[in-house]
Amino acid sequence: MGVKTILPFGPQHPVLPEPIQLRITLEDENIGQVLPALGYVHRGIEKAGEKNDYPLNVYLVERVCGICSATHGLAYCMAVEKLLAVEPPLRANYLRVVWTELHRLHSHLLWLGLLADAFGFESLFMQIWRIREMVMDALEKTAGNRVIISVNTIGGVRRDLTEEQIEETLRTLAECEKQLNAILPVILEDYTVRKRTVGKGVLTADQALRLGAVGPVLRASGVAQDLRMTGYAAYGELGFEPIVETAGDCYARAVVRARECFQTIDLVRRALQNLPEGDILTKPRGNPNGRAIVRVEAPRGELLYFVAGNGTKNLERMRVRTPTLANVPTLLEMLPGAEFADVPVITLSIDPCISCTER
């Protein structure tokens, strides 16, 4: 019988890019209870959203998250479009899919790199991030910026793609796919990687549903739920099948994200090849009045925007629920019983984005 120790894991920890504290009760090397502590990076974005004019909020909500910013902009624009009864043109919807999926691709690659880093596989981390750099360049060439691309606007998108840009992006994607095909077997079949991830942090489908898990965490537990199935933007026209794994451990979550990289490349390719002609913006008129809820699939899972307008140019309320907030409770069931050395990998396996969570 060992002595119980409470060990603070974070908020500053080499494996955590963002500040979250897990107070871990340890008995020898085994984890007992885990208590999360949030609140280190609260920025008051929801309140700021009530002070701004509603079109300016697009730039604000893009800064909720530094990795999936296009998804936040898209969700906010869709919510306000619902209130203003504006329908974006078809071409704008396709372009939104292109940029959102490119964001998902670079987010998943970032996560795969961080996973490699979490168990000390530095060279793999750099290899993956080198591939990610190609996606970042594609984003910068098409949208003008690497991360905060600011392409979404209420009623459509702000930039159009030329023929050369479409071809160049398709070439980049082909190269990306080639390099990923060369590198992903290393991640998924390597002895060390399997040793550190298979059977760690198992979450059953029942647990995942009960705790309200979203995104790849839920899909890795065998639940086929992806909001892209609802067919918002152009996902309905493009056709979409969620990727599901059944094991529910860290390895399954890595496999889901790795397979989603290829799915994303495929979606962008199809969206670019079938890009319809036409306008990219329907001018919105008036001020938002009423309430709207929009759910979209961010790289980490379901992202919910609630927007309430009162007929003025300021919103009455803007509420953001990010995927990590829904996924933190799963950590509290995955970690107990595990060994302390597995905490970084299990924590990382939900792809925590703390700035998102605290807004």
Partner 1 sequence: MPKMLKAVVGNLVTKPATRPHPYRRREAFARARGRVIFDISRCIFCGACALRCPASAIRVNRTERELVFEPFRCIICGACVDGCRRGCAQIIPQYHSPAYTKPEETYRAPIEVKEDNQL
- Restricted to residues 161-190, the positions that interact with partner 1 (CB under 8 A) are 165
Nearer to partner 1, 148 or 166 (CB): 148
- DSSP output for 141-180: HHHSSSS----EETTEES----HHHHHHHHHHHHHHHHHH
Nearer to partner 1, 15 or 188 (CB): 188
Supply the DSSP symbol for 308. Answer: E
Q: Does 140 bind partner 1 (CB under 8 A)?
A: yes
- DSSP output for 189-251: H-HHHHHHHTTSS---HHHHHHHT--HHHHHHTT----GGGG-TTTHHHH-------SS-SHH
* Contact pick of 142, 169, 327, 355 for partner 1 (by CB under 8 A): 142
- CA-to-CA distance for 321 and 295, rounded, in angstroms? 9
* Contact pick of 39, 44, 144, 212 for partner 1 (by CB under 8 A): 144
Nearer to partner 1, 59 or 262 (CB): 59
Stretch that binds partner 1, among 7-15, 56-64, 232-240, 347-355 (CB under 8 A): 56-64
Q: Does 120 bind partner 1 (CB under 8 A)?
A: no
Q: Does 52 bind partner 1 (CB under 8 A)?
A: yes
Supply the DSSP symbol for 341. Answer: G
- Restricted to residues 204-233, the positions that interact with partner 1 (CB under 8 A) are none
Nearest CA to 119 among 201, 196, 48, 224?
196
* CA end-to-end span of the chain: 42
Stretch that binds partner 1, among 74-82, 157-165, 204-212, 288-296 (CB under 8 A): 157-165
User: Which residues form the interface with partner 1 (CB under 8 A)?
Assistant: 52, 55-56, 59-60, 130, 137, 140-142, 144-145, 148, 150, 158-159, 165
